[in-house]
Structure formats: C-alpha cells, structure tokens
C-alpha cells in the first residue's frame, strides 16, 4: 500500500514496479475517488439523491468492486482477469446515470476511466476497446429502452459521447501498444548488451593476456586476473604500493628501473600508442617478461574514452630463446676444436711430398669443406652471443680500407666462380667500430653476392661518404630476391626457397647478424633487389667526427 501511495505521489516507485495487486488497486482507485467527488457535488447540488435507491446501489456496487480489487489474489489468477473490474465499473455508472441523470449531469462521462483502463492495459486491445465503447453506448441507450422512449431520433442523439469515449479508448490503446513495443525493444537491447558484457568478461578472464582499461581520466577502470598477477610480480617485495613509479619495471638485459616517463602506463595515459614493447617485471625467480601494447579508444561520438593496455606474458618464450642461444654457443664452441684439428692436419698433409694428384685434390676438397664448416660454426657462435658479449671495443677504423680488404680476401673465390669483382673506394672513411664485427659483415655481404650469382656476372663494391654517413654498397647481378623473401631477409634462420633449391649451403644467419652489427654501430643495413637483375646491399655507418682543435685563448 505504501508503494501505491508512493506512485500516486509521483515518488520513486514506478507503476510497473508494483505488485499485481498494487497495480489493480491503483487502476480502480481513481474511479472510486471520482464517485466520492460525485457525493460531494450531490451534497451541494441535490442532497435528495442520497435517499435515491439507484444512487445508493450504484455507490454500493462501486465500493464492492474496490474491495474486490484489494481482496482478490491477482498474482495467482490468470493474467487479464483483472479487466473484469473495469467492465463491472460500467454497471454502477449505468445505474447512477439512469437514476440521477436529471440532477447530476455528465455521470455517463465517468465511463472514460474504465475505458482508459481497458485500453491502457494493452491486453487484447481489439476486444477490450470495443467492449468499452459498447458499454458506454449501453449506458445511454438502455434507459431509453426501459422508459420506452427509444426512437431512432432519441438513440441517435445519445451517440456522440459514447463515440468520443470509444475514440479515447482507441487513442489510449495505440499509445500503450507503441510504448509497450518500445519497452520490449529496450529490454531486448538490454538483454543483448548484458549477454555481450558477460561474454566480454568471460573472454577477458579466460585469455592468458593481462588487460588493463583506463578511463578518460587515466584511472584504472578494469583489470583482469592475469593483469593482477603481473601487477603483483612488479610489486617491490613486502611493499604494497599504489605508486606506479615504485613498481619494478626493467628493460630486457638491464637492472636499472625504467624511468617513470618511459613507462607504458604513463605514456598510454598521455594518449600514446605502444606496440609490443618488452619489459621485465620484478626481480629474481618470480620476475615475468611481458610484451606490452597500448591503444587509446574513442566513444561513439568520437571523443577519447580511455586506453586499453594488453600485456602478454612472454617469460617462457624469452627463456626458450636464451636456452637456444646458449645451446648454439656451447655447440659451436665444441665443434671448433675438432674442426681446427681437421683443417690443420688436412693442410699439413697437403705439404707432404709424393702425394698423388688425386689424393692432393681430395685433400683440397676436404680443406675447402672444413673451412666452410668452420665459417658456419663461427656464424652460429656470433648469433648466439648477444647483449654485453657482443658489444666489442670501438676503435677508429677506415671503412674504405675494410672494403678493400674484403675485396682482396674474396678475390680468389670470385676468380674460382668466374665472377668479376670490382672494388671502388672514395678516400678514407673514418668510423668508430668493432673491427671483427665489421669485417664479418663485409665478408658476409661479398660472399652472398658471389654465392647467389652466376659465373660471368660482376659484383661491385663501393665505399663513399654521403652526408654524415660512410656508405658501402655491394651490388651483384645475381638471382635477386623475390619481394616476399625480401621482407624477411634480415630475419634469423630465414633462407629463400630459391637459395635452398639452388643447393647453395648456408644457415640464414649471416644477414641477421650483419644487421645487428650495423645497428649496434648506430648504422643501417638495407637491401633492394629485383629478381633476375640482382641485389644491392647498402651498409651505412656514422662518419666519425674528428675532435676539433681550438686555439688556446691568449
Ligand atoms: P645464408 O647465405 O647463410 O643462407 P644470409 O643471412 O647471409 O644466410 O642470407 C639469407 C638469405 O638471403 C639467403 O639464404 C638468400 O636466400 C638471400 N640472399 C642473401 N644475399 C643474397 C644475394 N646477394 N642475392 C640473392 N639472395 C640473397
């Protein structure tokens, strides 16, 4: 009842939130309130109606209907049965109208209330609205039949008001049905969005990727279980903290915490898009290596709504790569000693006198292949050494000189393959570098140019200054590299199908290492190639600026 009053006072509770009984009572109540008003009007206009049996019976029936609306268990009765009440309401209206139409005018207009209830319930409107219209017609026609005054003229004179009431019923019904259809659609949308939300929640909690959502103010709006785990890994031991700067975040291979401004969270808050940056969270055995990406997202109106951060735990992958490199390093170390022995003894044997030409030729083949194997083992070892081990001491070097040496040392191989090797250098090119590393890069580029070219072609080596760069190019007229392979030519262990098919031996490591060496020198290594025309590899290293001498001030 309290809730019924609350609705009537336009309070917090909405009509559809009431119980079935509440709704029935609230629909009946206005009719009885109107009848109370009729009593009040009668008291002033014509008190004699209070002794009129028709008036008293009409009021009595209306009261019984109100009591029924309270008393019956509408929740348990079939839905729609409550519409018996508005239909019954027409009876007291009819009696009141018949017995008091002269003293109290307009009593038949009370029919507007049950008609609106019938139409507004939305239940079987095609039946209920005509019933209401018919009942209001009977209210005005029946008295004529009882009194014997029913003529086409008298009956026609009464039709206007029932017709208006019927129209009100239709209008109410149309509005109710449209509101109901709209509500159904809203509920359907709500159901769908709830299902989507649950789906999203399940996906986010199932995937093995940490997800953090920041709202437009940069505050954390959502964090899945995996992200919480990663967050815990980054917490300094025994220090629960909310301060982002205190979290233990390192770059791979460094023990210095990443400065706050370089941390992905901070950059993401500033609206930056981050792609797969690798960090280590925490220290010791519990540390996790993660690859973090961050992307801002907009709302439907195109306004920045927040940022999503995704952290993939790549600890196992990184450990596997380290294990592979360690294995390669150990394996190539182990291969070196016996290989050096084989090579040494094969060379010694060649010096023996009295060897048959056939045996000498066999020994030469053995030596060549052992050298080749040695070269491959060197490459694998260099690939396995990363980080600090690979950083060599930088010395002042002349790139032109290194290029000339590479040409000289490859001369015999070029001659053996009947390939013309041209070397042209343009004065000294001072650079700061690791001699072994750079020699290996140049040797690799020249050796590839020779390996992947047919006899009778030309390989050209040039070295020249270009702006602040010392630039070396190795150009061949070989098979060339198809566009698809060109994209991966600097990826470790990648060899083109053409190279594999041609039977040219190789590991697919040389160019990857060469690029790493170039980048370690703050330089670049690039390749352009055209199938059937040839390839050009360009190595750029920063020219060393000699220290400037300034005259001492007098
Ligand atoms: P490897 O030569 O040991 O296979 P590299 O890393 O030096 O390994 O080269 C990778 C691949 O790139 C080669 O297998 C070959 O397919 C291609 N490639 C490299 N240099 C050339 C070149 N000058 N011409 C054509 N293809 C080349």
Question: Where residue 237 sits, what CATH number does that domain have?
Answer: 3.30.450.20
Percent of all residues in the chain with a pLDDT value above 70, rounded to a whole number: 93
Which residue has a Cα nearest atom 8 of ligand 1? 508
Q: Which residues of 444-473 are buried (b: 16+ CB within 10 A; e: fewer)?
A: bbbbbbbbbbeeebebbbbbbbeeebbbbb
In the predicted structure, residue 503 carries a pLDDT above the cut 70: yes
Q: Using the mean position of ligand 1's atoms as its centre, give its distance from the Cα of residue 420 in Å.
A: 19
If you compute the radius of gyration of the chain from its CA atoms, what whole number of angstroms results?
Answer: 47
Q: Are residues 408 and 488 in the same domain?
A: yes
pLDDT at residue 239 in the model: 66
pLDDT at residue 462 in the model: 97
In the predicted structure, residue 97 carries a pLDDT above the cut 70: yes
Question: How would residue 385 be classed by pLDDT, with cut points 50, 70 and 90?
Answer: low
pLDDT at residue 537 in the model: 98
Percent of all residues in the chain with a pLDDT value above 90, rounded to a whole number: 58
Tell me whether residue 547 is in a domain.
Answer: no
To test the ligand 1 pocket, which listed residue (495, 512, 525) has its Cβ within 8 A of the most ligand atoms? Answer: 495
To test the ligand 1 pocket, which listed residue (445, 452, 483, 492) has its Cβ within 8 A of the most ligand atoms? Answer: 452
What whole-number distance in Å separates Cα of residue 461 and Cα of residue 75? 95
Domain end call among 313, 348, 373: 313
Rounded to whole angstroms, what are the CA distances from 361 to 340, 350, 365?
Answer: 20, 9, 6
Rounded to whole angstroms, what are the CA distances from 241 to 31, 235, 238, 250, 290?
Answer: 66, 7, 9, 17, 20
Question: How would residue 281 be classed by pLDDT, with cut points 50, 70 and 90?
Answer: very high
- pTM equals 0.52
Q: Which of 323, 319, 289, 295 is nearest to 307 (CA)?
A: 295
As given in the structure block, the two tokens for residue 122 are: 């939305």
Q: Using the mean position of ligand 1's atoms as its centre, give its distance from the Cα of residue 395 in Å.
A: 29
Sheet holding 420-425, edge to edge: 420-425, 458-466, 469-475, 534-542, 524-530
pLDDT one-digit tens code per residue, 222-232: 999 999 999 88
Q: Are residues 23 and 71 in the same domain?
A: yes
pLDDT one-digit tens code per residue, 296-313: 999 989 998 999 999 999
pLDDT at residue 3 in the model: 61
Q: Using the mean position of ligand 1's atoms as its centre, give its distance from the Cα of residue 480 in Å.
A: 10
Cβ–ligand 1 distance for 535 under 6 Å, the answer yes
What whole-number distance in Å separates Cα of residue 318 and Cα of residue 263? 20
Q: Which atom of ligand 1 is nearest to the CA of 512?
A: 6
Question: How would residue 128 be classed by pLDDT, with cut points 50, 70 and 90?
Answer: very high
Number of domains in the chain: 4
What whole-number distance in Å separates Cα of residue 361 and Cα of residue 111? 122
Q: Are residues 438 and 329 in the same domain?
A: no
Tell me whether residue 432 is in a domain.
Answer: yes
Cβ–ligand 1 distance for 534 under 6 Å, the answer no
Q: Using the mean position of ligand 1's atoms as its centre, give its distance from the Cα of residue 343 in Å.
A: 26
As given in the structure block, the two tokens for residue 386 are: 């990363």
Which residue has a Cα nearest atom 7 of ligand 1? 510
pLDDT one-digit tens code per residue, 454-467: 999 999 999 999 99
Cβ–ligand 1 distance for 544 under 6 Å, the answer no
H or E stretch including 545?
A: none
pLDDT one-digit tens code per residue, 131-142: 999 999 999 999
Q: Using the mean position of ligand 1's atoms as its centre, give its distance from the Cα of residue 522 in Å.
A: 23
Tell me whether residue 11 is in a domain.
Answer: yes
Cα dihedral sign, 78-79-82-84: negative
Cβ–ligand 1 distance for 495 under 6 Å, the answer yes
| 3-class state of residue 250 by DSSP | strand
Q: Are residues 143 and 53 in the same domain?
A: yes
Q: Are residues 41 and 180 in the same domain?
A: yes
H or E stretch including 277?
A: strand 274-281
Cβ–ligand 1 distance for 488 under 6 Å, the answer no
Mean pLDDT value across residues 166-186 = 95
pLDDT at residue 434 in the model: 83
Question: Where residue 509 sits, what CATH number does that domain have?
Answer: 3.30.565.10
Mean confidence (pLDDT) of the chain: 88
Question: How would residue 10 be classed by pLDDT, with cut points 50, 70 and 90?
Answer: low
Cβ–ligand 1 distance for 506 under 6 Å, the answer yes
Domain end call among 388, 416, 449: 388
Are 306 and 216 contacting, i.e. CB atoms less than 8 angstroms apart? yes
To test the ligand 1 pocket, which listed residue (375, 506, 514, 515) has its Cβ within 8 A of the most ligand atoms? Answer: 506
pLDDT one-digit tens code per residue, 523-551: 999 999 999 999 999 999 999 875 444 44
Q: Are residues 361 and 282 in the same domain?
A: no
Q: Are residues 469 and 499 in the same domain?
A: yes
What whole-number distance in Å separates Cα of residue 115 and Cα of residue 129? 7
Question: How would residue 335 be classed by pLDDT, with cut points 50, 70 and 90?
Answer: confident
pLDDT at residue 386 in the model: 55
The DSSP output letter for 468 is T
Question: How would residue 104 be classed by pLDDT, with cut points 50, 70 and 90?
Answer: confident
Tell me whether residue 250 is in a domain.
Answer: yes
Cβ–ligand 1 distance for 28 under 6 Å, the answer no
What whole-number distance in Å separates Cα of residue 394 and Cα of residue 407? 23
In the predicted structure, residue 264 carries a pLDDT above the cut 80: yes
Are 335 and 376 contacting, i.e. CB atoms less than 8 angstroms apart? no
Cβ–ligand 1 distance for 489 under 6 Å, the answer yes
Higher model confidence: residue 245 or residue 446? 446
Domain end call among 366, 388, 410: 388
DSSP string, 379-437: HHHHHH--GGGG-PPPEEEEHHHHHHHHHHHHHHHHHHTT-EEEEEE-S--EEEE-HHH
Cβ–ligand 1 distance for 447 under 6 Å, the answer no
Which residues constitute the domain of residue 222?
Answer: 208-313
Question: How would residue 84 be classed by pLDDT, with cut points 50, 70 and 90?
Answer: very high
The DSSP output letter for 218 is S
pLDDT at residue 2 in the model: 62
Q: Using the mean position of ligand 1's atoms as its centre, give its distance from the Cα of residue 478 in Å.
A: 11
């Amino acid at each position: 009842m309290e809730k019924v009053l609350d609705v009537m006072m336009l309070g917090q509770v909405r009509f559809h939130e009431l119980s079935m009984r509440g709704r029935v009572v609230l629909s009946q109540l206005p009719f009885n309130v109107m009848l109370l008003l009729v009593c009040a009007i009668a008291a002033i206009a014509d008190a004699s109606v209070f002794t009129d049996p028709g008036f008293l019976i009409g009021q009595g029936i209306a009261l019984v209907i109100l009591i029924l609306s309270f008393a019956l268990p509408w929740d348990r009765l079939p839905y729609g049965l409550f519409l018996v009440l508005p239909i019954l309401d027409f009876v007291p209206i009819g009696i009141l109208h018949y017995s008091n139409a002269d003293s109290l005018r307009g009593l038949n207009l009370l029919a507007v209330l049950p008609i609106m209830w019938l139409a507004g319930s939305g239940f079987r409107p095609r039946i209920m609205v005509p019933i209401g219209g018919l009942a209001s017609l009977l209210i005005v026609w029946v008295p004529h039949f009882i009194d014997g005054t029913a003529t086409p003229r008298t009956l026609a004179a009464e039709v206007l008001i029932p017709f208006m009431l019927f129209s009100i019923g239709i209008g109410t019904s149309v509005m109710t049905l449209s509101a109901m259809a709209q509500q159904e659609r809203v509920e359907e949308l709500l159901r769908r969005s709830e299902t989507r939300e649950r789906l999203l929640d399940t996906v986010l909690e199932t995937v093995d990727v940490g997800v953090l959502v920041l709202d437009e103010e940069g505050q954390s709006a959502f964090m899945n279980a995996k992200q919480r785990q990663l967050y815990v890994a980054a917490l300094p031991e025994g220090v629960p903290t909310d301060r982002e700067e205190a979290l233990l975040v390192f770059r791979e291979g460094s023990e210095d915490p990443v400065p706050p401004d370089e941390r992905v969270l901070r950059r993401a808050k500033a609206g930056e898009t981050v792609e797969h940056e690798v960090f280590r969270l925490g220290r010791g055995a519990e540390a996790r290596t993660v690859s973090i990406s961050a992307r801002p997202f907009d709302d439907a109106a195109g306004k920045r709504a927040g940022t999503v951060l995704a952290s993939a735990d790549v600890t196992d992958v990184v450990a596997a790569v380290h294990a592979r490199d360690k294995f390669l390093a150990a394996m190539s170390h182990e291969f070196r000693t016996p290989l050096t022995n084989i090579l040494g003894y094969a060379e010694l044997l060649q010096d023996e006198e009295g060897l048959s030409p056939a045996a000498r030729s066999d020994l030469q083949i053995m030596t060549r292949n052992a050298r080749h194997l040695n070269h491959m083992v060197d490459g694998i070892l260099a690939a396995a050494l990363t980080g600090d081990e690979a950083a060599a001491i930088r010395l002042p070097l002349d790139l032109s000189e290194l290029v000339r040496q590479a040409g000289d040392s490859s001369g015999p191989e070029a001659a053996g393959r009947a390939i013309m090797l041209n070397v042209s250098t343009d004065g000294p090119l001072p650079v700061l570098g690791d001699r072994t590393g750079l020699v290996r890069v140049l040797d690799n580029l020249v050796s590839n140019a020779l390996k992947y070219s047919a006899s009778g072609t030309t390989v050209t080596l040039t070295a020249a200054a270009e702006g602040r760069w010392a630039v070396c190019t190795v150009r061949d007229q070989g098979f060339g590299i198809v566009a698809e392979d060109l994209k991966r030519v600097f990826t470790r262990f990648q060899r083109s199908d053409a190279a594999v098919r041609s039977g040219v031996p190789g590991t697919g490591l040389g160019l990857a290492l060469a690029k790493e060496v170039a980048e370690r020198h703050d330089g670049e290594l690039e390749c352009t190639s055209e199938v059937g025309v040839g390839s050009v590899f360009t190595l750029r290293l920063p020219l060393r600026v000699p220290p400037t001498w300034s005259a001492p001030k007098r």
